[in-house]
């Protein structure tokens, strides 16, 4: 091969590679734009996550306080119910004793 042939091959390769270089440059620009868009989306997503977390805390805190109040009320009611049951058991025993006493008094009459 002589110099002219090599120059012709070189020129031909340059011509063939030019559209590829152009496309590569376009793709690079698109990728850079996408990177910027992705960063923006990530920032917005992070902001939304922070807002959601704050809102979640604002919703959950009063609910937890209400649950605490309800737990205390249930404990208090449970204590009252236990006391009432104990008193009822005593009343029941006294009533049974009174029934026996009435029956006994009827028999000796």
pLDDT tens series, the chain, 109 aa: 899 988 999 999 999 999 999 999 999 999 999 999 999 999 999 999 999 999 999 999 999 999 999 999 999 999 999 999 999 999 999 999 999 999 998 898 7
- Tokens, residue 38: 């992705």
Please give the span between the terminal C-alpha atoms of the chain, in angstroms, as a whole number.
148
Structure token digits, residue 75: 């404990």
Rounded to whole angstroms, the Cα distance separating 99 from 92 reads 10
For residue 77, what pLDDT is reported? 97
pLDDT of residue 41: 98
Tell me the backbone φ, ψ of residue 2, rounded to 5 degrees.
-100, 180
- Predicted local confidence at residue 5, as pLDDT: 87
pLDDT of residue 21: 96
- Which residue's entry shows tokens 């091969």? 1
Phi-psi category of 2—alpha, beta or left, where left has phi over 0 and alpha has psi -120 to 50?
Answer: beta
DSSP one-letter code for 109: -
């Amino acid at each position: 091969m002589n110099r002219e042939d090599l120059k012709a091959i070189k020129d031909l390769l340059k011509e063939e590679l030019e559209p590829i270089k152009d496309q590569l440059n376009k793709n690079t620009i698109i990728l850079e734009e996408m990177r910027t868009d992705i960063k923006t989306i990530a920032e917005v997503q992070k902001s939304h996550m922070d807002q959601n977390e704050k809102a979640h805390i604002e919703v959950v805190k009063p609910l937890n306080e209400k649950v605490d109040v309800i737990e205390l009320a249930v404990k208090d009611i449970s204590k009252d119910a236990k006391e009432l049951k104990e008193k009822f058991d005593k009343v029941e025993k006294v009533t049974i004793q009174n029934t026996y006493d009435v029956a006994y008094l009827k028999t000796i009459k």
